[in-house]
Structure 1
Amino acid sequence: MPTPSARLRALRDQLVRERLDGFVVPLTDEHMSEYVGDYAQRLAWLTGFEGSAGTAVVLAEEAAIFTDGRYTIQVREQVSAADWSFVSVPETNVPAWLGEHAHAGMRVGYDPWLHTRGWVEEARAALAGVGAELVALERNPIDSIWADRPAPSPAPLAVHPERLAGRGAAAKRADVADWLAAAGADATVITALDSIAWLLNLRGADVARTPVALAYAVAHADGTADLYVAPEKMTAAVAEHLGNAVRVHDRATFAASLDSLAGKRVAIDPALAVAAIADRVERAGGTVLPLRDPTVLPRATKNPVEVAGHRAASLRDGAALTRFLRWVAEAAPRGGVTELSAAERLSVFRAESGLLRDQSFDAISATGPHGAIPHYRVTPESSLPIEPGQLYLIDSGGQYEDGTTDVTRVVPIGSPRDEMRDRFTRVLKGHIALATATFPRGTNGGQLDSIARRPLWDAGLDYAHGTGHGVGSYLSVHEGPARIAKPSYPGGGPAEPLLPGMILSNEPGYYKAGAYGIRIENLLLVVERELPGGDAPMLGFDTLTLAPIDRDLIDPALLTDAELTWINAYHHRVAATLAPVLGGDDAAWLEARCTRITR
C-alpha cells in the first residue's frame, strides 16, 4: 500500500499529465455532506487525516492542509509535517491562501462536484488577482490514481414510517410545492442527503453513522418529484411508499437530466448544492434562483411526534450510558481497560436495547492527553490504556428509528486533581447557564454562545469549537441551519434564529494539551417560555439527555445557589426516570451518584 508521501507524489505526477499546477481537495462529496462514504474519502486517502472537516491544496512545490481548532493536535499527529504545512481556519481560508501562494500563469484545478458556487467565485477572484486561473475538471485527478477506491454503497433504501416521521411524504411535497409557487419557481433541486431523506420519508445506509442514501431529488410546483438513485437500492416497499407522484430514475442520469429544466425557474440552495449543478442548469437555458433548500427549516423544527420519539430515544440511550459509566468507574481503576475496549463496551450496552440501528458517529473515547483532542478518533494503533490519575472522556451517540442522540461525559479514574475539578466545574457552570437561558424570539445561537463561555473566560480560559449544533430526527447528528457558536466558527452560514422544536447540543469544554480534556454535553429542545409580567415572546430550553454528571469532579464552592439547585434537580430527574428502567445494582449505583450535592 503506498504511503501518504507516495500518494502526494502520484498526485503531483497526475497534475503534470493534466497540465495543472495545483489542485484543491475538500473533505466532502457531491452532496456537500459533512460525513461521507468511503468512496469520497479523498482527503484521508491523500493525507492520512481522519478528521471530519478539512481541505488540502497541492501545488507543485508546496502542499497545505487546512483545519479548524478542533483538529489542531490531531492533524499534526496524522499528517506528515515533511510533506504538508498546517494552516488554521478561520484565521485564513483556501482562496486567501491561494491568492498568496499562487503566481501568474498557474492553472489550479478543482472538482465542480465538490465545491459550491460561492467558493468557486471566491477562489477564482483570488487567483485572478495574481494572474492565475481556476480550472474546472471533468474528472477528479485523485480518482485517476486511487487504484483501490471503494465503490459507493449498494445498501437498499428503507421507508421511514409516518408513525415515526409525524408527517407523510405527500404532505411534505405539497408544502414544497406551495413554497415554489410563492417563490415564482417551477422546481427545486434538492441535493443534501438528509433533506431528501426527510422530504420523502426514506432512510438509507450509504454514509457511515448517518442513515441516508446517495440520491438527488427534483421537486416540482405540481407536488410531484423526481428521485435519482441507483436502481439496486429500490425495493417493492419503497416503490409502493413513493407512489406514482415520485418518478424514480437511475442516479447516473442525474447530470444529463438537468437539461430538461431548460426554460424553467429553478431554486437551488447556494450553500448546499455544488457548482456543477447550477452551471448545468444555466447552460441548458434554465434560470437559477439562489434560494435556501425549502426542507431545511421544517426538518430542523421537529414536530410533536419527532419530539416524543427523541424523548423515548433519550431515555433508552441514557439507560445504556449509565450502565456504561458504572462499568468504567468500577473496571478502569483495576486496569485492563483501553479507549478501544471501552468504546466497544458502550456499543454493546446500546445494542442490548434491540432498537439501536447504528452509532450516530464514531465514539470519541479518549483518556488523558487524547481527551485534549476534541474530535479524537480511537484506532487499534492509537488506543491508550485508561489509567488512574486520568480523566476519561466519552462523547458518543446512537441512531434509533425514533431519534438521534449525542452525549458527552467525563469520568475521573481515581481521585481528580484540584485543577481538574476547577476546570470541570467552570465547564459545568457554562453548561448550566446555557441550559437555563431565556431569550426573545429572533435570537440566534451566536448571541447565546458567550453565555456558556463566560465562566471559563473569567479564568482566562476558552475552547476552540462551537458550543452547540443541531441534531436530526434519525438523521445527521450535525444538522443545520441553527448552531450555537462564535460567528467566525467554521461550518455555519448566516446566523439562524432559534425556533421551537429545534434540538441542539449544549457542549462547552476545556482542553489542556498533552494532559486531559473536559466536555459536558446534553441535547436541548427549544421551547416557548412565558415569564410573569413579560410582554415579549420568549424561548428557552428543555434538557432532553438523561445521564449522571460526575459528582467527584464538581467543586460545590464554585457553584451559585441557583447552579446547585439546577444540578440537584437534574440528577433527581435522571434518577427518577432511569432507575426504574435499570433496576438492580445499576439503579442503586445511579441513585448514589445522583444524591444531593451540598457545600
Structure 2
Amino acid sequence: MNVAERIFALRSLMKEKGIDAYVVPTADFHQSEYVGEHFKARKYISGFSGSYGTVVVTKDDGGLWTDGRYFFQAENELKDSGLRLMKMFVGDTPSITEYLCDRVPKGGTVAFDGRVLSMGEGQEYEEVLSKKKIRIHYSIDLVDDIWEDRPPLSDKPAFFLEEKYSGESTSSKLMRVRKAMEEYGADSHIIASLDDVCWLLNVRGDDIDFFPLLLSYAIVKQDRVELYVDASKLDDRILDELNKNHVTVHPYNDIYEDVKKMDASGTVLIDPMKMNYALYKNIPCKIVEAANPTILMKAMKNEVELENIRKAHIKDGVAVTKFMHWIKTRYDKETITELSSAARLTEFRAAQEGYIRDSFEPLCAFADHGAMMHYSPCEETDVPLSSGAFFLNDTGGGYYEGSTDITRTFVLGSVDAQMKRYFTAVVRAMMRLSRARFLYGCYGYNLDVLARGPIWDLDLDYQCGTGHGVGYLANVHEPPTGFRWYVVPSKNEHHQLEEGMVITDEPGIYEDGQFGIRIENEFVVKKGVKNKYGQFMYFETITFAPIDLDGIDPEEMSRDEREWLNHYHEQVYEKIGPRLTEEEREWLKEYTRPI
C-alpha cells in the first residue's frame, strides 16, 4: 500500500471501532530520541521520515505536526498523502489538542497507543479533551493492524559494560538509587527510560538506531529488581551479574500487567518525563513524581568514565582530522557528495579501536542545506561538494570509552568577507563559553549569553540551544542540563552545572537558502578555586580537531581570542598529529598554525 492507501485503511478501522481521531506519535515505549524500525509507525502511516513529528488522522482530515527543522523535508514527503503539514510554533497553527477539540464532536473518541505517548502528553489530552467530554481510548494500536510486514522487535544480543569502562558496580549504583527512594518515601521505583536502566545495570544493547541501548524496563525495590527484557538477548556474563544483584528477568511486555498487581498500599517513584501514558495509567498505588535519581547520577561522570571519554575524543579527533584532510584535498578532484562523505567519515571512525557505531545520524550539509539546523542527507536531497561554500558536518562516534559529538564547518575554496565574518563570530562564540569561569550554582541559562554574545552583536541568533549533556555510550543528548537562554521544561535541562558533567558547546549562524555554520566542542565541568566568594568552576575542553582557519578573519578577533585558538590548535597538533600519516601530519601543521 502507498501512504494514501494506508490512511484509507486506517480510517476504515477507525470507523469500524467508533474512533473520531487517531494519533500517531514518533516514539517507542520509552520516549527514546531514536527508535528501532518496529516503532516507526508515524513514518509508515505518513511517509515522513524526519525524527520528530506527530500525525493525527480524523474521518475527513489529517495532518503532520513538526517543527522548523523539517518543514522543507515534510512538504516533499507528504505529497499525495492527503495529510497537511502543520507548522508548529508558526503563525496560527493550532496545537494538536486545539485541533482535536475543533475536529472531534462533543462526546467523540480520540484513540492512540498509550505506550508510545508520554505521560505528560496523555495527561494534557485528558485535561483538554475532557472539557468537551471527548473520550480517550489509549490501548489500541491501529497501525499494527494494517502494517502487514512490520519489522519485529530487535532480537540483537546485549553486552555487559565492564567496570573498567563504567567505573562503578551495579551494586553500588543500586545502593545509591535505593537511598534516593527512601528519601522520597517510596518502596518501589519504576524506570522506563532505556539509558537509565542500562546505566543502572551496566548493560548495553543494539535495539534502537545509533544509541547502544537495550529495550527494557526495571522496577527497583529495596531487596530486589524486576527486569523486563527479552531474556534471549542476555549472555551468561550479564545473567551472572544480574543474579548477584537479585535481579529477576521477566518477558519484556509483562510489565503492563505486573504493574497492575503492585501493592495498592505502597508508594512508587516515577519520572513523569520518562514514562509512557499506558504504564502510568496501570499503576494502582500512591505515586511520587520526581526525576529519576539515575539522571543526575549518570550525568556526573566518575573519574574512570572521564578518563575513558578523553581517550574516545582522541580517537574521534583522529577520525575527524583525517576526514577534514580528505575533504579539503579531494573535493575538487573527485566527486564527493553529502552521503558519500558521511560514509567516509564512518569508515575513519570504524578504523579506531573500540568503535561500536556512530552516536547519532550524521548531519552532513553542503551550502544552503547547512541552513537547516538538523538536515541529514538522503538519496533525494544528496548533492556533490564544490568550491565557494561551507560544508557543515555534525557527527559523533560511539566507542567502548564513550560517545562523542563534534561539529566542524569546512570552507571549500574561497568565501566572501561576510561569510568569514560570520564564521569567525561562531568560533568566538564557541570559545567564549568554553573559557567561562563561574560560581557553583550556575545553570546553563546563566551562561548561555556568553556564546550568543558575538552573534547577538551582529543582530543574529540561532533558534536552538547552545549545548546539551552527553551520555556515556548512551543517549548523546543527555539531561539534566544544557545551555539555552530560556527554560524549556520538556528538555529537562534545568539543573545546575555539576562537576563531572560532559556538555557540548555548539553555537551557530544559519542563513536561509545560503549556508549554515556551526562549531562544536565538548567539555567537562570542573571545580576550580574555592575562596571566600564560593566554589569557582570552569570547563575542560576534551574535543580535539582543527577549526578551519580558511574561515577565520583574525582582524575580527581580540588578542586573547587569537591566543586561545592558537593554544587550542597547538594541543590538537600534539595530541592528533602523532596518529596521522606523514602527509596528513604536514597538512595538519598548516591548519593548526598560529594566527
Scaled by the length of structure 2, what TM-score is found? 0.95
CA distance in 2, matches of 1:474, 1:494: 20
Structure 1: where are the runs of 5+ without partners? none
**SS, match of residue 281 in structure 1:** coil
CA distance in 1, matches of 2:298, 2:570: 32
Residues 164-207 of structure 1: CA deviation (Å, up to 9, x unaligned):
00000011111111112222111101110010110000010001
CA distance in 2, matches of 1:237, 1:192: 23
Task: Pick closer, same or farther for the CA change 1:73–1:526 going to 2, 3 Å.
Answer: farther
CA distance in 2, matches of 1:378, 1:489: 28
CA distance in 1, matches of 2:135, 2:463: 32
Q: 1:449: how far off?
A: 2.3
CA distance in 2, matches of 1:422, 1:64: 41
In 2, are the aligned partners of 1:335 and 1:386 still within 8 Å (CA)?
A: no
Residues 7-29 of structure 1: CA deviation (Å, up to 9, x unaligned):
33332222222211112221111
Task: Pick closer, same or farther for the CA change 1:132–1:58 going to 2, 3 Å.
Answer: farther
CA distance in 2, matches of 1:30, 1:90: 29
Q: 1:322: how far off?
A: 0.2
Q: 1:300: how far off?
A: 0.6
Residue of structure 2 equivalent to 1:353: 352
Deviates more, 1:24-33 or 1:98-107: 98-107
Residue of structure 2 equivalent to 1:4: 3
**SS, match of residue 534 in structure 2:** coil
Residue of structure 1 equivalent to 2:509: 510
Deviates more, 1:80-89 or 1:494-503: 80-89
CA distance in 2, matches of 1:290, 1:90: 32
Task: Pick closer, same or farther for the CA change 1:25–1:353 going to 2, 3 Å.
Answer: same
Residue of structure 2 equivalent to 1:587: 585
Residue of structure 1 equivalent to 2:139: 138
CA distance in 2, matches of 1:488, 1:182: 27
In 2, are the aligned partners of 1:63 and 1:85 still within 8 Å (CA)?
A: no
Residue of structure 2 equivalent to 1:107: 109
CA distance in 1, matches of 2:467, 2:584: 30
**Is 1:418 the counterpart of 2:417 in the alignment?**
yes
In 2, are the aligned partners of 1:71 and 1:374 still within 8 Å (CA)?
A: no
In 2, are the aligned partners of 1:90 and 1:488 still within 8 Å (CA)?
A: no
Q: How does 1:122-521 map to 2 (within 5 A)?
A: 122-129=124-131, 131-222=132-223, 224-244=224-244, 245-262=246-263, 263-282=265-284, 286-487=285-486, 489=488, 491-493=490-492, 495-521=494-520
Residue of structure 2 equivalent to 1:62: 61
**SS, match of residue 218 in structure 1:** strand
Tell me the amino acid that sits aligned with residue 459 of structure 2.
Answer: G
Residues 297-316 of structure 1: CA deviation (Å, up to 9, x unaligned):
10111000100010000001
In 1, are the aligned partners of 2:109 and 2:137 still within 8 Å (CA)?
A: no
Residues 386-431 of structure 1: CA deviation (Å, up to 9, x unaligned):
1112211111110001110010111111111222212111111211
Tell me the amino acid that sits aligned with residue 542 of structure 2.
Answer: L
Residue of structure 2 equivalent to 1:562: 560
In 2, are the aligned partners of 1:393 and 1:408 still within 8 Å (CA)?
A: yes
Tell me the amino acid that sits aligned with residue 269 of structure 1.
Answer: D
CA distance in 1, matches of 2:553, 2:5: 52
CA distance in 1, matches of 2:324, 2:489: 32
- The match for 2:533 among 524, 532, 535 is 535
Tell me the amino acid that sits aligned with residue 108 of structure 1.
Answer: V
CA distance in 2, matches of 1:438, 1:96: 45
In 2, are the aligned partners of 1:96 and 1:123 still within 8 Å (CA)?
A: no
**SS, match of residue 491 in structure 2:** coil
Residues 66-110 of structure 1: CA deviation (Å, up to 9, x unaligned):
223333433334333862132224986433443455443332212
Scaled by the length of structure 1, what TM-score is found? 0.94
In 1, are the aligned partners of 2:479 and 2:493 still within 8 Å (CA)?
A: no
Q: 1:345: how far off?
A: 0.9
In 2, are the aligned partners of 1:487 and 1:495 still within 8 Å (CA)?
A: no
In 2, are the aligned partners of 1:74 and 1:373 still within 8 Å (CA)?
A: no
In 2, are the aligned partners of 1:66 and 1:86 still within 8 Å (CA)?
A: yes
Q: 1:116: how far off?
A: 2.9
Tell me the amino acid that sits aligned with residue 188 of structure 1.
Answer: H
CA distance in 2, matches of 1:220, 1:513: 52
CA distance in 1, matches of 2:498, 2:90: 27
**SS, match of residue 60 in structure 2:** coil
Q: 1:366: how far off?
A: 1.3
CA distance in 1, matches of 2:523, 2:308: 14
**SS, match of residue 56 in structure 1:** strand
- Matched residue pairs, number? 590
Q: 1:439: how far off?
A: 2.1
CA distance in 1, matches of 2:147, 2:2: 12
CA distance in 2, matches of 1:75, 1:521: 27
Structure 2: where are the runs of 5+ without partners? none
CA distance in 1, matches of 2:294, 2:358: 25
CA distance in 1, matches of 2:313, 2:291: 31
Residues 101-150 of structure 1: CA deviation (Å, up to 9, x unaligned):
54433322122212233222222222233x25141232211111122211
Residues 498-545 of structure 1: CA deviation (Å, up to 9, x unaligned):
1111111111111122221111111111111227x7612222211111
Q: 1:247: how far off?
A: 1.0
